[in-house]
Amino acid sequence: MSKLKSIWRSALALVLCLGAAQAAQAEGRRETETIFTDGLARGGFVLVEAGHAPTIVVDPADAAVVRHAADDLATDIQTVTSQQPTVSSAPVGKTVILVGTLGHSKLIDQIVAAKKVDVSRLAGAWESFVIASVDRPLPGVDKALVVIGSDRRGTAFGVYEVAQAMGVSPWAWWADVTPRRRDALFVGPGVHRFGPPSVRYRGVFVNDEDWGLYPWAAKTFDPERGDIGPKTYRRVFTLLLRLKANTLWPAMHHTTAPFNADPANARLAEEYGIVMGSSHAEAMLRNNVGEWKAAPETFNYATNPEGVKAYWAERAKANAGYESLWTVGMRGIHDTGMVGPKTMPEKVALLDGIIRDQREILGKTVSPDVSKIPQIFVPYKEVLEIYRAGVKVPDDVTIVWPDDNFGYIRQFPSAEEAKRAGGAGVYYHLSYLGYPLAYLWLGTTPPALVQEEMIHAWDKGARNVWIANVGDIKPAEIGASHFLEMAWDIDRWRGKTQRQYLEDWSRRAFGPALAGKTSDLLDAYYRLNFERRPEHLEWQPRAENRHLSSYTPDEVNDRLRAFRKLAAETKATAASVPPPLADAWFELVEFPIRVSAAANMRFFAAERYNELIDNDQAMARSAGGAAVDAQAEITALTDRFNNQVAGGKWRWLMPEEPADSQWRIYRARSIPLPGAGLTADPARFLAVVDGNAPAVSPVVEAEAFAANAGWRLVEGVGRGRGVMLADAPGATLTLAVDVAGSDGRRAQLGVLPIFPDGQAQEIELDVSIDGGAPERVRLARKVGSPAWAEGVLDNLLKAMAGPPLAPGRHTITVVSRTGRVGLDLVRLILPEEVATHENH
């Protein structure tokens, strides 16, 4: 989503040569700040003035999604100006809005034939469009705003771009972002070009809907159906189009009826131009959880190939006429490993045969030329090891590389893999249910991390498919927007900071007056929660006995103080939010900030209560009071979200975390709160939190380097301003540290748990102290291991290096030996602290 920055005159446009598609897209992006102007400029177009809005003209023969977009534009214009345009199949009046797809609209083709608009870059392009003010486009029409798409989605994207340019957020319905009212709307002169997108298939996975989207749809939005059905999916499809996305993996948990169980869902997706796919566990568009009716043990290709093939063929035949993205391969019924083969060679051989048979099915049912059928292979979890062992993925199948479920992409395509006809893609998590701990409650993955990972993936060749797991959609609004904006235009945020993105997003949502402060609040929110997500406030997951946090009392106070300050500033800012935006502000900013602050207070105050109750009952009871109050605030904020915001529109969507007993092994265990009579006024505890001076921490942030060659700062990730990232082996960073006493402290490196390029399974660093011999430090990156689990919960890998340090100043030099090493900090650790602060 972007806006036009300047108006290009047609004469200037003629002399510009933007040969490559990417260059054309970039130039189009730079034009997009001022589609709309404050007044009517020469050559411009009056969209609304003096109570009049022009007719929107759509050819009845054009795609259904084009008519849907035109109807939405009419509604959007009415929302902004109180003037409701009509949508017609023929021009009415002297000024009109002409919307159509090249080759599918007689009026558009007539304009093109008359050379009224240059569409030379549209012909054959993927999902591209132009927006132009045109004089005398047709007989009897003096002026037209023309939106021309290269294909059906390109046209729809163009229409929604007009809506966004006049201030209608893609989240207007899903997050109640009310646009600013205007009495008049004027379109500037010139031609504005967009596309093709940087990534061909861009979309989301609606997942883990049991606690949010499903109960909301079943009880609030569509109680007649009592499920996620066409009424809900229509809203999802429209959101995707407004975000310039084109692909959906639908909800698939057992609570929800399978997407294809109701043929109306697939028909509606086709009507909206949405490409339907299915997740890594649902080969051939099959929702195994709801559709495999035979005994679970028979979902075994080694013993029941004919039964499984018939099951797949049935879906392929039913959905052959729809635009689909077919997942090939096989796993278990629901996010488990493939059953049957025991050894790795057996797994490789069976998976090769499965893919071969699936393509034979597609060739018989969808198209004889199977290489032209969009297909993906997702080496997720255990499948990555099978792929590495030698699976032969056909050249035209896109390999969609997964992250480790916590935002760190496990493997990037090699140069050879990127050259494959099917190319590469990424499956990325902004929400997750699984080991070691889930994060479904709040959207806390920092845009800075997503940007770093996804731009690197694109640069490595992952340009065909991007899918983000967004859970219930809410509260992943910011993350989904950012992810899909990069997928549409990879260079839009390249080189920009998290803070810059958040300010731009806030300006679009809340206007310029609130943009700066809102982005400051959100930036702090992401930074604080990156250190530990609110859903991850448990240490040593799956432990028999609760393990206390690794924070010292001073560090706890620092953290709580920062959260209290952030929450207070958020509440204060809320008072200045205009009433029409109050609901959106609460949903997108206030609720996540305040509830994450309360979650931290609940956990750490309860932990302090348990630590002190036997020795300092007065302070313990005060801490207990703070914990109980924090829980009450979470309950009150959740009630407000569900029952008061937007008149109860989102009732049942936002649960308290942990939501219920389902999947409890993957949910943080709450510390029991003290009962009635065991708490006191929290003022005493909070006075210590607020009054304790910031801890003098023996930590040196990596960005405070003394010398640097080959490392760059990535702001918004890490404990300080950011992390220092080495893109290639041999990068050298030198830090100066001061040791105050003779207490045996040693240096501990804090490293971002990203994965190196290629198939390397270790991050390697050389560390030397005071010019001494380098020590090789190796950090294993084995997904599922205890060290990996602690690393993703902390967003930090820890490794000791060097001998005990004598008093005085020391230099620590770190040299990357693998590419993509992110150094966050160096901590000076006492001997007795090593066990607490080390990854196990």
The CATH number of 201-496, from 1.10.540.10, 3.90.25.10, 3.40.50.720, 3.20.20.520, is: 3.20.20.520
**Residue 658 pLDDT:** 64
pLDDT higher at 757 or 154: 154
**Residue 13 pLDDT:** 31
Q: Is the peptide bond before 807 cis (omega within 30 degrees of 0)?
A: no
Torsions phi, psi of 10, nearest 5? -60, -35
Give the integer Cα–Cα distance in Å for 279 and 330. 11
Amino acid identity at 176: D
**Residue 839 pLDDT:** 54
Cβ-based neighbours of 5, under 8 Å, separated by 6 or more: 30, 31, 32, 33, 34
pTM of the model: 0.94
Tokens of 795: 């967003």
Position 492 pLDDT exceeds 70: yes
Q: Could you say which DSSP state residue 644 is in?
A: I
How many CA atoms lie within 13 Å of 818's alpha carbon, on the beta-carbon side? 23
- Output the CA–CA distances (angstroms, integers) from residue 203 to 236, 240, 289, 356, 771, in the order listed: 11, 7, 22, 27, 50
Amino acid identity at 648: G
Give the integer Cα–Cα distance in Å for 319 and 365. 9
**Residue 453 pLDDT:** 98
Instruction: List the Cα angle 384/201/323 in 5-degree steps.
Output: 105
| Average pLDDT over the chain, rounded to an integer | 92
Position 31 pLDDT exceeds 60: no
The two counts, helices (H) then strands (E), for the chain are 24, 28
Sheet holding 185-187, edge to edge: 36-37, 185-187, 45-48
**Residue 696 pLDDT:** 63
Secondary structure (DSSP) of 353-395: HHHHHHHHHHHHHT-S-GGGS-EEE---THHHHHHHTT----T
Q: Could you say which DSSP state residue 146 is in?
A: E
Element (H or E) spanning 249, and its range? strand 247-249
Give the integer Cα–Cα distance in Å for 469 and 429. 5
Secondary structure (3-state) at 141: strand
Position 52 pLDDT exceeds 60: yes
Give the integer Cα–Cα distance in Å for 205 and 208. 10
Secondary structure (DSSP) of 77-114: HHHHHS----EESS--SSEEEEEEETTT-HHHHHHHHT
Give the integer Cα–Cα distance in Å for 583 and 217. 20
Tell me if 411 sits within 8 A of 755, measured CB to CB. Answer: yes
Residues of CATH 2.60.120.260 domain(s) within the chain?
699-837
Give the integer Cα–Cα distance in Å for 213 and 236. 11
**Residue 11 pLDDT:** 28
Say what angle helices 512-531 and 553-574 make with each other, to 10 degrees.
160
pLDDT higher at 542 or 644: 644
Length of the chain: 840
Locate tokens 């002190």: which residue? 612
Chain centre distance of CA 398: 21
**Residue 552 pLDDT:** 86
**Residue 24 pLDDT:** 35
Tell me if 328 sits within 8 A of 338, measured CB to CB. Answer: no
Give the integer Cα–Cα distance in Å for 517 and 445. 20
**Residue 757 pLDDT:** 85
User: pLDDT tens, 763-810?
Assistant: 999 999 999 999 999 999 999 999 999 999 999 999 999 999 999 999
**Residue 1 pLDDT:** 38
Position 546 pLDDT exceeds 70: no
578-588 mean pLDDT: 98
Report the topology of domain 10-194. Chitobiase; domain 2 (3.30.379)
Secondary structure (DSSP) of 450-483: HHHHHHHHHHTTEEEEEEEEEETSTT-HHHHHHH
Which residues face 4 on adjacent strands?
33
279-292 mean pLDDT: 97
How many percent of the chain have pLDDT more than 70? 93
Tokens of 815: 């040299």
Locate tokens 């109570």: which residue? 51
Tell me if 796 sits within 8 A of 753, measured CB to CB. Answer: yes
User: pLDDT tens, 241-267?
Assistant: 999 999 999 999 999 999 999 999 999
714-732 mean pLDDT: 95
Position 47 pLDDT exceeds 80: yes
Confidence of residue 469 (pLDDT cuts 50, 70, 90): very high
Residues of CATH 1.20.58.2150 domain(s) within the chain?
513-691
Sheet holding 141-149, edge to edge: 87-88, 55-58, 95-101, 141-149, 129-138, 191-194
Confidence of residue 670 (pLDDT cuts 50, 70, 90): confident
Q: Which of 340, 416, 345, 409 is closest to 378 using CA atoms?
A: 409
Secondary structure (3-state) at 723: strand
Say what angle helices 305-318 and 344-365 make with each other, to 10 degrees.
40
Position 29 pLDDT exceeds 70: no
Three-state DSSP string of 271-323: HCCCEECCCCCCHHHCCHHHHCCCCHHHCCCCCCHHHHHHHHHHHHHHCCCCC
DSSP-derived pairing of the beta strands 424-429 and 462-471 = parallel
Tell me if 471 sits within 8 A of 251, measured CB to CB. Answer: no
Q: Is the peptide bond before 658 cis (omega within 30 degrees of 0)?
A: yes
Confidence of residue 317 (pLDDT cuts 50, 70, 90): very high
**May I ask the CATH architecture of the domain 699-837?**
Sandwich (2.60)
Tokens of 453: 């990972």
Confidence of residue 32 (pLDDT cuts 50, 70, 90): very low
**Residue 530 pLDDT:** 98
Tell me if 271 sits within 8 A of 65, measured CB to CB. Answer: yes
Which residues face 699 on adjacent strands?
827
Chain centre distance of CA 82: 34
Using CA of residue 480, residue 481, residue 483, residue 484, what is the dihedral sign? Answer: positive
Q: Which of 389, 300, 379 is closest to 348 using CA atoms?
A: 389
Residues of CATH 3.30.379.10 domain(s) within the chain?
10-194
513-691 classified as CATH 3.30.60.50: no
630-652 mean pLDDT: 98
User: pLDDT tens, 588-612?
Assistant: 999 999 999 999 999 999 999 999 9
**Residue 376 pLDDT:** 99
Three-state DSSP string of 196-211: CCCCCEEEEEECCHHH
Give the integer Cα–Cα distance in Å for 54 and 87. 9
Q: Which of 430, 445, 425, 447 is closest to 494 using CA atoms?
A: 447
634-650 mean pLDDT: 98
Which residues face 141 on adjacent strands?
138
Position 2 pLDDT exceeds 90: no
**Residue 540 pLDDT:** 66
Secondary structure (3-state) at 657: coil
User: pLDDT tens, 508-517?
Assistant: 999 999 999 9
DSSP-derived pairing of the beta strands 707-709 and 821-829 = unpaired
CA dihedral 349→350→354→356, nearest 10 degrees, is 20
